[in-house]
Copies of this chain bind each other. A is one copy, B any other.
Amino acid sequence: MDGIEARIRESFAKQTMMATFGAEVVSVAPGEVVLRAPIMDLAKQQMGFAHAALSFALGDTAAGYAALTTLPEGQEVVTAEIKINLLSPATGDWLVATGRVVKPGKRLAVVSAVVEAVTGDSRKDVALLQGSMMPI
């Protein structure tokens, strides 16, 4: 596990929101971070689907850490803004979020994320995010 992956796993471990959702880091590569979380009973909306905020939490966090892979050690990022389009009802066993850097930047990094719902061997896209992360 290299330096950047260690930094991200350490930061991730401090995010109590991620623990609340049972989320874990799947992989870290330059410009791309994958997270996943089970769809648990505690994170649903009124019709029994995963709440949009769960897709948001995973997509936003994956995209933020993707931006962090492009920054020098000692920096953090915060979300400046991010937009989510919901594509299908979030049902299944897991949500998997893949965050990517579209354009790195010292003042602002543009990022995107795709969130998929996984049920056994089948996957479907449930959300697409596009946003800006601010290094601090």
Interface centre among A20, A46, A83, A110 (most CB of B within 10 A): A46
Q: Interface code A35-77, partner B: CB below 8 Å = 1, 0 otherwise?
A: 0000001111111000111101100110000000000000010
One of A9-17, A24-32, A115-123 at the interface: A9-17
Asked whether, in the complex, the Cβ of A80 is within 8 Å of the Cβ of B51, the reply is no
Contacts of A79 in B (CB 8 A): 52, 84, 86
Chain A: residues with Cβ within 8 Å of the partner, total of 48
Report Cα–Cα, A79/B81, bound state, in Å.
13
Contacts of A51 in B (CB 8 A): 15, 17, 57
Report Cα–Cα, A102/B87, bound state, in Å.
9
Asked whether, in the complex, the Cβ of B56 is within 8 Å of the Cβ of A43, the reply is no
Q: A82 interface residue, CB < 8 Å from B? A: yes
